Copies of this chain bind each other. A is one copy, B any other.
């Protein structure tokens, strides 16, 4: 299998997160923030308002790139970073499903984006996905016991 090197992946922000203030609590998912999409990509947003929800994929530029593989989410033991939503990952990619409130030209207003002011946005995708005549909304799933402990 041919392996790609980091320099083979050319990724560029398509826009940036703009919050009302840099002091705002970005963990409060009832807040609305803006995604300022680069003007050159504005056309790519056409008709996006026909969706009520979109995924935002972003680059958590303030996360340190320490190599940490286990994390303690509560519930009494360590689990691997890929088994949590902790931001410390080998690639600090954020993924959040947000409510699309409004679009005007190259600006999106979204509710629920847990990203800091100034966060580079890498991609936007509509929710849900679909395939062969049906929408892919998974409502039958299993989560770990530790999650039940911290969310109850």
Residues of A in contact with B (beta carbons under 8 Å apart) = 1-6, 8-14, 16, 18, 27, 29, 37, 41, 43-48, 50-55, 57, 59, 61, 65, 69-70, 78-85, 89-91, 93, 95-97, 117-118, 120, 122-139, 141-145, 147, 151-152
A139 B142 Cβ-Cβ under 8 A = no
A129 B45 Cβ-Cβ under 8 A = no
A-B contact pairs, 9 of them (CB 8 A): A4-B61, A4-B120, A12-B90, A43-B80, A47-B144, A50-B142, A53-B138, A57-B93, A137-B138
Nearest CB of B to A49, in Å: 8
Q: Which residues of B contact A120 (CB under 8 A)?
A: 3-4, 9
B95 A55 Cβ-Cβ under 8 A = yes
Q: Which residues of B contact A45 (CB under 8 A)?
A: 80, 82-83
Cβ 8 A contact of A6, one of B12, B27, B80:
B12
Distance between Cα atoms of A11 and B6 in the complex (Å): 6
Question: Within the oligomer, what is the number of copies of this chain?
Answer: 2
B57 A95 Cβ-Cβ under 8 A = yes
B53 A97 Cβ-Cβ under 8 A = no
A126 B84 Cβ-Cβ under 8 A = yes
Q: Which residues of B contact A134 (CB under 8 A)?
A: 151
